[in-house]
Amino acid sequence: MKEFKDLIELNEYVVNKIESTGITQETFRFYADVVRANVHNTGLYIDVSQTYPGKKGMRNIEITVFVLKFLYPRMLKVLGIESEKDLVGKKWIFQGKLSFYRDRMSFTFFADTIAPVGESEIEKRRKEILKELKMRNLLMLEKHDLSELPPIKKIAIISSSTAAGYEDFLKNLKVSYLYQPIVHLYESPMQGAQTATGIILALNRIKRSNIDYDVVVIARGGGAKSDLMYFDDLILGVEIAKFNEYCPVLSGIGHERDFTIPDYVAWKRFATPTEVARAISKQIDDNIKRVDNNWNDLRLLVMNLFKNVNNILNFQLIDYINKTITVRFENINYLLDNYYENLENHLEYKIEFSKRRISKDVLNFISEKMNGKFKNEESNMLNYAKLLEKDFELKISRAESSINVIFQELLKKEELAPLLFGGAVILKNGKKVSSIRQIKIGEKLGLYLKDGKINVKAFNERKNKKEELYGGHTLFKN
């Protein structure tokens, strides 16, 4: 037997015992009949009773369930009852935690969830909300797939940091470190009368953040029908349907068999948070594979382009054309020189021969005629030379234009631009290296220059100061 000097000592002993057991941190659920329900300044007090057999016959055990003032009006609305008096005389499911009052040394049960026994009322209320949403054309009738969206890089998740569904989501978001998406948590209750209001407030905080998230995930693990009934809220359904115009909402609430109002209005519904995380991971992996395939196709295309450019810019061919034209011009000059020399000798002979036979006037006439013909021949030869020169310039201009077009096309491929300006592209196992973090000492690399390839080996490294990355799991709260 323990003996205490006064009531205060006894009280402290009891408090320490209770705190050591952690009983006030546990969540309890029970079924009971309501015998009284009254509203006071602080909240709603519900007296529940249940009979049990005792030594002297049947006895009643009775406890008080307390619902906070700001919670019970919404709770009654979700239950579809007008007054707390409608709780009396019926059996309900209660869920919540025990609270110990030190000054009275007594317990009070704080309820965060009240649900009817059975599913008929829950299903009936859900059908009424769906009917209203259908009249407003807010139901998501179109089936979507994550492949319709750009690569997912930033995710806003609405959940509770202590919820199993949130942990399952993070655990199954398996993506390579380089492509790991940013995940921001927006806290919200995931059970009880505050559920719908909390999710709506979280959606508003997401909008006010001005962060361009790719998707918003509403995640909660499985639970009983009474746990999920607070997701069946008309205003919540309207807000999610409208939010899809701003950012796609993905729902992952409950189990495969469970459907709540958010599932009918979300951009895409998933059975569990785990399924959402796996679908996002697959979407990111598929985009990575698509980029790798495009890179390989681009590499082959550029290699072919370089081959064509080498053919067009074959310096030996240009040198051959230049030499050929030079030789032709030299031959033309040689022929002209010989022609003029022979013609001059012939004329001198003719003139000397004719001096004795014709008059000076006739000689002058013949000389003028011959000079005119010489000038005509010289003009023709010069015109021919100019035509050849223009033809050559035109062919060179066309070749340059073709080269410029190919050069501009290559500039659009930013991965290969370094080759055009004397730089190089580094490949490891056929993949482009863009950071020193991708190279380990001792690895073999391919160094591609514009006129060939060099096989190298990494033997030392020097890293710049590590930049702090913006990402990871960030906790956003009110």
| Full-model pTM | 0.50
- Cα–Cα distance for residue pair 219/214, rounded to 1 Å: 16
Q: At what angle do helices 120-135 and 234-243 cross, to 10 degrees?
A: 40
Residue with tokens 């930033």: 154
Give the confidence band of 475 by pLDDT, cuts at 50, 70, 90. Answer: very low
List pLDDT tens digits, range 401-449.
777 777 676 666 666 667 666 677 788 887 777 787 788 888 888 887 7
List pLDDT tens digits, range 241-291.
999 999 999 999 876 677 889 999 999 999 899 999 999 999 999 988 888
Average pLDDT over residues 59-64: 78
Give the confidence band of 467 by pLDDT, cuts at 50, 70, 90. Answer: very low
205, 365, 385, 471 from 184: Cα distances, Å: 12, 105, 77, 9
pLDDT value at residue 468:
44
Question: Which of the residue ranges 85-94, 147-156, 200-209, 332-341 would you say has the lowest mean pLDDT?
Answer: 332-341
Q: Is the pLDDT of residue 474 over 60?
A: no
Handedness of CA 204, 209, 210, 213 (dihedral sign): negative
Q: Is the pLDDT of residue 347 over 60?
A: yes
Average pLDDT over residues 311-316: 60
- Cα–Cα distance for residue pair 263/242, rounded to 1 Å: 14
Average pLDDT over residues 40-50: 86
Q: Output the six-digit token pair for 13.
A: 């002993």
pLDDT value at residue 433:
79
81: CB partners within 8 A, 6+ apart: 87
The residue among 251, 173, 246, 169 whose CA lies nearest residue 212 is 246
Q: Is the pLDDT of residue 6 over 60?
A: yes
Q: Is the pLDDT of residue 122 over 80?
A: no
